[in-house]
Amino acid sequence: MFGVRPMTDQTYTLKQLAQGHRPIRIGFFLVPDFPLMTFAAALDSLRQGNRLAKRKAFEWLILSADGGHVKSSSGLGFDADAAIGRAPRCDIVILCAGINYADAYDANVFAWLRRIHSEGCVLGAVSTAVFFLAKARLLEGRRCAVHWESLASFRSEFPNCLATDDIFAIDGRFLTSSGGTVTLDMMLYLISAVEGRELAALISDQFNHARIRRQDDVQRMSPEDRFGIRNAKLAFVVRRMEASLGDPVEISDLASSVALSLRQLERLFHANFGKSPTHFYIELRMTRAKELLVYTELAIGEIAEICGYQSASHFGRSYRTRFRESPAATRKAERRREVPVS
């Protein structure tokens, strides 16, 4: 075992880890039902780093609340190397959690996170594990990345945290990833800061990862890719629509923003989507509403406001027209489908 140098300065950067001992020890705290992809991306980037550096730059261990076996959301599990109460000190601890994260809330885990943070440990969170750091009161006033599915509910529950839809975020001794393949980009950033960009680039090449994404890259596909748009003006208008779901812009103003008449914009939408800009805009808002109903615990009134409706009744009528059921029925049906993986 080795100690961790206390670091409490708000201006701390990951480069300070590079000035210390080797190998850097990283603990992975696995929450039951964690997503396997994110854990594999984080762990295998370190394994590849050691291989390409031709030395043991990193070492790692798996941690769990009780030191026992932890299953991923796919059913594949891992035996922990240690329980959190008996774990050797780590330079970095990364938490991995999935959609059932709240089932694993534990006062002992929150106390452990606060303790190792006070001892100088760098804390990382992948996907919904960011909720653990926030619940432990460690992210207030901190910038953190949250998956787009969970962003609204996170902001509602933790208004003092600076939640962002960036793909990952670094703030002092905190690293947060929105999850999925983004975790590889966060780890490459970490490796670049500690061991140099050349090693990070070699790892990226080994994984056929053509570009190491920046922190402020977008989480979701661009309108061009998602809708197959080839017209630059149409893509600009769709982007504005997606960015203003909670405060819808007049269609005439959208047309003016790309130097088109309202009639020209109507023709452009009909030619590409077979529907009017108004209908397309409403469908974007309804799709977002359904995501919030399924993936968050926000009240229906709150979801209506987020999606640009001044009243829950107006929202409910629009939702029924689009999906042939009420918002409450959608949420109820989703709860029935939430069957644990055996």
What's the pLDDT tens digit per position in 264-321?
Answer: 999 999 999 999 999 999 999 998 888 888 777 788 888 888 888 888 899 999 999 9
Residue 217 lies in a domain: no
143, 233: one domain: no
Q: What is the DSSP string of 163-186?
A: EE-SSEEEETTEEEE-STTHHHHH
Residue 214 lies in a domain: no
Does residue 84 carry a pLDDT above 60?
Answer: yes
Q: Do 25 and 91 form a contact (C-beta atoms < 8 A)? A: yes
Tokens representing 31 are 């929450």
142, 273: one domain: no
- Residue 244 — pLDDT band, cuts 50, 70, 90? confident
22, 153: one domain: yes
Characterize the bridge pairing of strands 168-171 and 174-177: antiparallel
More confident residue, 149 or 314: 314
142, 34: one domain: yes
68, 170: one domain: yes
Burial class (CB in 10 A: 0-12, 13-18, 19+), 243: exposed
Does residue 177 carry a pLDDT above 70?
Answer: yes
114, 253: one domain: no
The CA angle 16-138-289, to the nearest 5 degrees, is 115
- Cis, bond preceding 23 (omega within 30 deg of 0): yes
pLDDT, tens digit, 9 for 90 and up, residues 88-135: 999 999 999 998 888 899 999 999 999 999 998 999 999 899 999 999
Question: What local confidence, expressed as pLDDT, does residue 220 receive?
Answer: 54
Phi, psi of 148, rounded to the nearest 5 degrees: -55, -30
144, 268: one domain: no
31, 99: one domain: yes
Which whole number is the average pLDDT over 197-204? Answer: 86
35, 167: one domain: yes
Distance CA 127, CA 99 (A): 9
Cα–Cα distances in angstroms (integers) from residue 19 to residues 22, 191, 193, 313, in the given order: 9, 13, 11, 59
Question: What local confidence, expressed as pLDDT, does residue 340 receive?
Answer: 44
For residue 289, give the CATH number of its domain: 1.10.10.60
196, 230: one domain: no
Domain count, the chain: 2
Question: What local confidence, expressed as pLDDT, does residue 178 receive?
Answer: 84
Strand, coil or helix: 58: strand
139, 28: one domain: yes
Q: Do 280 and 248 form a contact (C-beta atoms < 8 A)? A: no
Question: What local confidence, expressed as pLDDT, does residue 341 receive?
Answer: 41
**Domain with 149 in it:** 11-207
Does residue 81 carry a pLDDT above 50?
Answer: yes
More confident residue, 213 or 243: 243
Residue 191 lies in a domain: yes
